[in-house]
Amino acid sequence: MVESLLVPPSVLLVAPGAVAGAPETPDAAVAWHYGDPFAEQRAAAQAVAVLDRSHRFVLTITGAERLTWLHTISSQHVAALPDRRTAENLSLDLNGRVEQHFVMTDIDGTLWIDTEAETGPALLSFLQKMVFWAKAEPSGAPDFAVLSLVGPDAASPAITAALGIDALPGIYEATALPGGGFIRAMPWPTPHSYDLIVPRGDLAQWWSRLTAAGAAPAGMWAFEALRVAALRPRLGIDTDDRTIPHEVRWIGGVDAGGAVHLDKGCYRGQETVARVHNLGKPPRHLVLLHLDGSADGRPVPGDAVTAGGRSVGRLGTVVDHFELGPIALALIKRSVPVETQLDAGPCAASIDPDSVPAHDEVQAGRAAIDRLRGR
């Protein structure tokens, strides 16, 4: 059964100072922090930190047609993804709403995919059902897990020596690691971010090796704070069952750091993607909110964001940032002016003006219609 492949609580929860994520949250299986959350964030932003993300769901796809087959059922252009390259990708429903977001790396004849633990089994089940006659074999890989290195000092000689490699890969590139697994470079949550996909049985060994080389232990609190500040959404927290890719900044090819290629062939949900891109604008957009830290309590993901008592959006990730204070991601109606005073749960909230995407571009389809009408 696919459900049996759900990841277990991390063996690294026994590391000194580890405080597990709150029960019934997506990060309950790993450390939320190691005793000094803001120092951990600072290390990840300014030095280097190692983060346990072993609760990610990992699967593999083998077979000669793995890339061309996946290309036909997902939103990213991956048919010719080079060896040792990474892409972000989506699975959409028939109405173009986001069902899955995943990161994929093709290396040495195997395509590695990781995604949220809660949605991983459904993604694996979907892929297995869609194979038909293609030479592609999706299967769970519970014996592999994800660690992340974040910070500019990840390129230090001590860290690369601990990794057993000569140099770190470039963004969206991957390098094999000695002993199995690989390291890939990601453009978020900071410009110096690297994921290690390694045998789960070697997690403690990798943790010890990297911390001995100078990487500070950091929990998911640090990762989430930096991710929110970078305006990067997380599936199931910053998205809901109505989310379309345009609302959460997932439009773009591999080189643009997106998950939806606008010039690829047909895939489920493409009609909505094309219609919004060419003719319309997204009904909501993802913005950064600054929360009143003096309020009695904090909102939680899923809370309504209101203006004058009227709901204008949905709250996503809420987190305390070491420099910005309490912040959150939210899906807000596009028509809401940036200066609008908002409320999120018990907190007053304001939109960060630098986080509001521009929607003043003229779409190709709309321009064509205007030309036909003589405008």
Give percent of the chain above pLDDT 70.
Answer: 94
pLDDT tens readout for residues 261-313: 999 878 999 999 999 998 889 999 999 999 998 888 899 999 999 999 999 99
- β-pair type (144-150, 304-307): unpaired
The pLDDT assigned to 374 comes to 58
Q: What angle do CA 313, 241, 73 make, to 5 degrees?
A: 135
pLDDT tens-digit readout, 72-112: 999 999 999 999 999 999 999 999 999 999 999 999 999 99
Across residues 218-228, what is the average pLDDT?
98
Any idea which of 1-5, 168-172, 193-197 has the lowest mean pLDDT? Answer: 1-5
Instruction: Specify which residues 31 forms β-bridges with.
Output: 20
Looking only at Cα atoms, what is the longest distance across the chain? Answer: 70
**Which tokens go with 371?**
């030309």
Structure tokens belonging to residue 114: 């990781």
CA angle 82, 84, 86 (to 5 degrees): 80
Q: In Å, how far are 28, 68, 203 from 59, measured between CA atoms?
A: 21, 18, 17
| Confidence at residue 375, expressed as pLDDT on a 0 to 100 scale | 60
Q: Is the pLDDT of residue 361 over 70?
A: no
3-state secondary structure string across 59-94: EEEECCCHHHHHHHHCCCCCCCCCCCEEEEEEEECC
The pairing of beta strand 304-307 with beta strand 193-199: unpaired
pLDDT reading at 372 higher than 90: no
- The more confidently predicted of residues 266 and 319 is 319
**pLDDT band for position 16 (50/70/90)?**
very high
> Which residue is listed with tokens 């660690």?
147
CB 286 within 8 A of CB 233: yes
Q: pLDDT tens digits, residue range 130-159?
A: 999 999 999 999 999 999 999 999 999 999
Share of the chain above pLDDT 90, in %: 89
What is the value of pTM for the model shown?
A: 0.93
Structure token digits, residue 227? 């991710």
- Name the residue with tokens 């190709």: 364
